[in-house]
């Protein structure tokens, strides 16, 4: 018997705290390498300026300081990240690919 086929993936640890965290880190690294640290400041400002809404966490700290946040905060970040990245003044090709990545992620996440 293959134990990996018999176990159910722990959604919180596998998807929220590992894969999405990696996706955020990859996005930040890619943008910082290609456009400099100022692009991360723009993302931070956009995250901080999200209007208050019930059951939606605000992110006042830097996106680079997300090392120790809860799965619930990652879920809230999933809800807004596609809007934060939209019209970011980066190359159209990269922006479209990033937006597609986050859209596909959200669709996949909803299926689980």
Q: For 60-71, how does the pLDDT look when each residue is reduced to its tens digit (9 = 90+)?
A: 766 766 667 777
Question: In this structure, what DSSP letter does residue 17 have?
Answer: I
- The whole-number mean pLDDT for each consecutive block of 10 residues of the chain, a chain of 112 residues, reads 62 67 88 91 86 74 69 81 89 90 85 70
All residues at 6 or more sequence positions from 103 whose CB lies less than 8 Å from its CB, including other chains: 82
Question: In this structure, what DSSP letter does residue 42 have?
Answer: H
Q: Where along the chain do its domains lie?
A: 10-111
> What's the pLDDT tens digit per position in 29-47?
999 999 998 999 998 888 8
- Provide the strand spans (E) within 42-97: none
Asked if 10 contacts 92 with a C-beta cutoff of 8 angstroms, the reply is no
Residue 63: count of CB within 10 angstroms of its CB: 21
Model confidence, pTM: 0.75
């Amino acid at each position: 018997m293959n134990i990996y086929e018999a176990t159910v993936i722990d959604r919180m640890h596998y998807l929220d705290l590992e894969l999405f965290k990696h996706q955020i880190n990859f996005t930040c690294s890619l943008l910082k390498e290609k456009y400099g640290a100022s692009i991360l400041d723009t993302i931070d400002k956009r995250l901080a300026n999200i209007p208050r809404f019930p059951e939606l966490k605000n992110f006042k700290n830097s996106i680079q300081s997300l090392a120790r946040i809860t799965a619930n905060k990652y879920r809230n970040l999933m809800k807004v990240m596609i809007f934060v990245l939209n019209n970011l003044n980066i190359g159209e090709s990269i922006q479209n690919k990033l937006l597609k990545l986050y859209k596909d992620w959200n669709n996949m996440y909803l299926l689980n």
